[in-house]
Each structure stands twice: as structure tokens, then as C-alpha cells.
């Protein structure tokens, strides 16, 4: 019995907790991509850099707060700074929409043109971020480091395996749940949310019903900017902030959005977890789990690992490619917003 529990704790510690955290981060990112896709109908390659921008503003505000001696007790100060990051990112998104994207909307440009435009914005943002904060690593998590320490867990349960939960992991999951609940409430219960869904479903019909397209587009950018700032900050809190990792995040995020079906918020969330858990499950070394689950003292020879951890990120690209080839409409196909 203890052996089974030990095996479960081992899996929880190395797969479940990190998977839930990473999955939440991906889900929030993918929600942003999916929103833009559903309403503005293009793949926003600049989303990763938008996340990076939001995280950067949050970090700068965090430093300022810390200098003033303001902290958030056991929680990271960055949560207090996050609203500033959100506002700055939203303003930035609206500005880019006004200066750049609006023109192409009026021109009724094709999706590839939008895509190239978003690459231009990707360049501008990545330059801007590196220019302001520099390319170095930044660790800005403060407050209590752990919700649950491995040793405390061992003492509490008397098991051999420990379960550690970092504060940043807890914060990520809780924030993600709150945000997702808010988004769904907004889309399904409010008038503006419904008009957004109507616009995404059938643009012409929505226009005929008197929905103001400019407002729908603006709201979409507000939501996307907020989501990007939150996702970027949570990722940075959890894994340390480094400007160039955010470009690499674009692909797992696209993978998440596409796995669930682009344009579908529920799909984006499911996709985020599918991608996160596949990465972890395929690169986890099952050696010790098997040792616990088999009777006697037998321990498997190798690591019992399907893929070396070097290929962790490549898993999401493989999933992306497979989904695009086998079922490009994703798991929840046919439904949008």
C-alpha cells in the first residue's frame, strides 16, 4: 500500500504539479491567441512578445514597490504589480491596433498579410523589451518560497517520497482558475461578451444586428492584452524571466490553441493541459515509479524514459505538427467562442 502511495506521490511531485502549473500558463497564453483568431481572424505571432512585455512592466513595478518597502506578505509582490502590467499591455495592444492593424482591417487584408504584420510587431516588441530591461535573467519572485516543502510532507505522511509545491505554482493555478472563470462569465453572461461571440460567429450578421465592430475589436484587444500580461508574469514568476524564452513559448502556445481547436476558448484551455502533460509524461523517467509498483526489490535497469528530457520542448512541436496533419480543426472542432 505504501509503495503505491509512494509511486503516486512521486508522479504528483514530478508530473502533476509541474503539469498543472505549466498547463495553466499555456492555457492563458493560448486563450489570448484564440481570442485574436476568433475575432480578428489571424494567427498572432507576436503574442509571446506581448506576454514578455507585460511581464517586464510587472517586474519594473515590482522593483519600484520593493524599493518603497511594499511587499505582499507571503505572496509574491509581483501580484500587486500585475495590474500595472495589465494596463500597460492593454494600452500597448490598443495602440498597435490603432496604428497598425486597423489599416489592414479596412483593407480586408488576407490572413498571411496579418501574419507578416504580426512578425513586424514581434520584432518591435522584442527589441523594445530587450532595450528597456536588457537580455539578462531576472528572478523577481519573493515572499514565501514554498506552500509545501518536501521534507514537511514526508514528516506529515511518513512516506519516503516528498511532495513540494512552490508558492508560484499555487499562485499560477489559482490565478488561472479565477481568470478563466471570469472570461467564461464575460463571454456567456454579459451583453458585450455575447456581441463578441456573435461577431466571431458571423461578422455580417452581427453588423446587421447593430453590433459595433470597433467596440468588439477593442474589447478583444483588452482581453488579449490582459491575458498576455497575466500569462507572461506567471510564467516569469515560476521559471524566471528571460526575454528570449518568450519567443520559444509561441509554438507551445499555438500548439495548445490548435490542439483544442483554434478560436475555441474551452479548447485552448484543454489544449494547454494536453501539451503540458504530454511534455512531462513523455520525458519522465518512470524507473522509480515502476520500482515501487512491482513487488520485491527489482529495479528496472535503464531510466524507463520514452524520450530524453532534451526533447521536452520538441514534444509540443511534434504534437502541433501531428494535430495540424491529422485533425487541423482540433479536438473541439466546429465551435468557436
Partner 1 sequence: MSTNLRNILLFTIMGALLVAVGVIQSANVALAILNLCLISAIMTLGVNIQWGYAGLFNAGVMGFAALGGLAAVLVSFPPVPEAWAVGGSRAMLGAVTGALSIVLAILAFKMIPGGRRLRGWAAAAVALSGVVLMRFILDPAVEAIEAVEPARTGFLGGLGLPIVFSWIAGGAFAALAAWGIGKIALGLRSDYLAIATLGISEIIVYFLKNEDWLARGVKNVNGLPRPVPYEIELQKTLWVQELAAKLDFNVIELSSIIVKLSYAGLFIVVLAIVFWLSERALKSPWGRMMRAIRDNEIAASAMGKDVTWRHLQVFVLGSAVIGLAGAMLTTLDGIFTPASYQPLRFTFLIWVMVIVGGSGNNLGSILGGFAIWFFWIEAEPIGLAVIELLTSGMGEDHALRLHLIENAAHTRLATMGVVLLMVLRFSPRGLIPERGK
Q: How many residues bind partner 1 (CB under 8 A)?
A: 45
Distance (Å, whole) CA 224 – CA 32: 5
Distance (Å, whole) CA 248 – CA 228: 15
Per CB under 8 A, 311 contacts partner 1: yes
Q: Residue 139 corresponds to which cell in the numbers above? A: 528572478
Query: Residue 173 contacts by C-beta under 8 Å, 6 or more apart in sequence?
Result: 20, 21, 24
Stretch that binds partner 1, among 12-20, 151-159, 160-168, 325-333 (CB under 8 A): 325-333
Q: Are 75 and 170 in contact (CB under 8 A)?
A: no
Smaller CB distance to partner 1: residue 74 or 132? Answer: 132
Stretch that binds partner 1, among 22-30, 112-120, 158-166, 174-182 (CB under 8 A): 112-120
Q: Are 214 and 5 in contact (CB under 8 A)?
A: no
Question: Which regions of 146-213 does DSSP assign to beta strands (E)?
Answer: 146-148, 165-166
Per CB under 8 A, 108 contacts partner 1: no
Q: How far is the CB of 121 from partner 1 (least distance, A)?
A: 7
Q: How far is the CB of 163 from partner 1 (least distance, A)?
A: 30
Per CB under 8 A, 303 contacts partner 1: no
261 sits in the region (left: phi over 0; alpha: psi -120 to 50; else beta) called left
Which position among 317, 331, 333, 336 is part of the footprint of partner 1 (CB under 8 A)? 317
For the chain, the straight-line distance linking the first and the last C-alpha, in angstroms and rounded, comes to 46
Per CB under 8 A, 113 contacts partner 1: yes
Chain residues 27-56 in contact with partner 1, contact rule CB under 8 A: 42-43
Question: Which residues would be at the binding site for partner 1 (CB under 8 A)?
Answer: 42-43, 100, 103, 110-113, 115-117, 119-128, 130-132, 134-135, 244, 247, 251, 254-255, 258, 308, 310-311, 313-314, 317-318, 320-321, 324-326, 328
Amino acid at each position: 500500500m505504501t509503495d503505491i502511495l509512494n509511486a503516486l506521490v512521486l508522479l504528483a511531485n514530478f508530473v502533476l504539479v509541474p503539469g498543472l502549473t505549466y498547463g495553466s500558463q499555456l492555457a492563458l497564453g493560448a486563450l489570448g491567441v484564440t481570442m485574436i483568431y476568433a475575432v480578428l481572424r489571424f494567427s498572432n505571432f507576436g503574442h509571446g512578445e506581448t506576454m514578455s512585455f507585460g511581464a517586464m512592466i510587472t517586474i519594473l513595478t515590482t522593483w519600484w514597490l520593493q524599493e518603497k518597502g511594499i511587499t505582499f506578505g507571503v505572496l509574491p509582490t509581483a501580484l500587486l504589480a500585475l495590474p500595472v502590467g495589465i494596463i500597460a499591455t492593454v494600452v500597448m495592444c490598443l495602440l498597435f491596433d490603432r496604428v497598425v492593424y486597423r489599416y489592414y482591417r479596412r483593407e480586408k487584408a488576407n490572413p498571411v498579410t496579418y501574419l507578416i504584420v504580426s512578425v513586424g510587431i514581434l520584432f518591435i516588441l522584442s527589441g523594445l523589451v530587450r532595450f528597456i530591461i536588457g537580455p539578462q535573467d531576472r528572478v523577481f519572485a519573493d515572499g514565501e518560497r514554498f506552500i509545501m516543502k518536501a521534507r514537511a510532507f514526508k514528516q506529515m505522511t511518513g512516506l519516503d517520497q516528498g511532495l513540494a509545491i512552490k508558492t508560484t505554482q499555487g499562485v499560477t493555478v489559482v490565478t488561472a482558475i479565477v481568470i478563466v472563470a471570469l472570461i467564461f462569465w464575460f463571454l456567456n453572461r454579459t451583453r458585450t461578451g455575447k456581441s463578441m461571440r456573435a461577431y466571431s460567429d458571423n461578422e455580417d450578421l452581427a453588423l446587421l444586428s447593430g453590433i459595433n465592430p470597433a467596440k468588439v475589436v477593442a474589447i478583444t484587444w483588452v482581453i488579449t492584452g490582459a491575458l498576455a500580461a497575466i500569462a507572461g508574469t506567471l510564467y516569469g514568476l515560476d521559471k524566471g524571466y528571460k526575454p528570449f524564452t518568450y519567443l520559444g513559448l509561441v509554438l507551445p502556445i499555438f500548439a495548445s490553441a490548435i490542439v483544442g481547436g483554434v478560436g475555441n476558448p474551452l479548447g485552448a484551455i484543454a489544449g494547454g493541459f494536453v501539451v503540458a502533460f504530454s511534455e512531462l509524461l513523455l520525458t519522465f523517467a518512470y524507473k522509480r515509479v515502476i520500482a515501487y509498483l512491482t513487488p520485491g526489490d527489482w529495479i528496472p535497469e535503464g531510466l524507463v524514459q520514452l524520450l530524453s528530457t532534451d526533447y521536452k520542448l520538441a514534444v509540443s512541436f511534434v504534437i502541433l505538427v501531428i494535430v495540424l496533419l491529422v485533425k487541423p480543426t482540433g479536438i473541439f472542432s466546429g465551435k468557436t467562442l
